[in-house]
Amino acid sequence: MEIEKQGNRPAHQELPGSECSKTTYSSDFVVSSDTTTSNDAATSSAYGLLKSQELETYKVFVYGTLRKGYHNHHYLDGESDFIGKAKSVEKYSMTAEERYMRGYRKRAIPFVSKKPEIEITGEIFEVSKYTLKLLDALESHPRWYKREEVEFEIIEDENHVDLGLEDRVDIEKKPKRVVAWIYFNEETIGQIKILSGDFSTEYPLAFPTGS
């Protein structure tokens, strides 16, 4: 806002000029209304940019303890939307480690590497930028796990309806595929091989995978 010191002008007297840039005088200051409008527009634009960033969403594929029912799934509660059960288009490998925590509780931690062996099964969620940052912190990305985008095929929709082969293709006879983030780990290879590529098969919800 531009403010000019003025003398003793009559209060609220409008100077002659174009209608699009009116200036109103008080006894002490002149406030340019076109500058005010410009500042308001800039503020509105900045607010709109901030809101658009807040509304950005990202698809994330989870294959271990972030899946429904497991102890880390609370990171995806609330604002995250379940897209469906999915499997990777490309083949990777999955291993796991079993660790005993305090209280002698056993916890299984899965790792997926790019070694081609089997399609990986998991779940896809649409998350906010804030949630994505939480997941990055949980997975120690990029120091331990590394997040990358790859392609997945939806095999069960958000209503838990198993999509048969015919239902998995669209009118162009292409599989229903989405691109989503996945956390790879090439640093740690677990001693237990998950040959099915499905963590929930080897470690069903009855297994104590965490606190």
Catalytically active residues, by annotation: 139
Half-sphere exposure of 39 (CA within 13 A, CB side): 8
Entry field: residues in the chain: 211
Q: Using an 8 Å Cβ cutoff, are 60 and 129 in contact?
A: no
d(CA 112, CA 48): 39
**Who contacts 204 (Cβ-Cβ below 8 Å, separation ≥6)?**
none
Q: Using an 8 Å Cβ cutoff, are 99 and 107 in contact?
A: yes
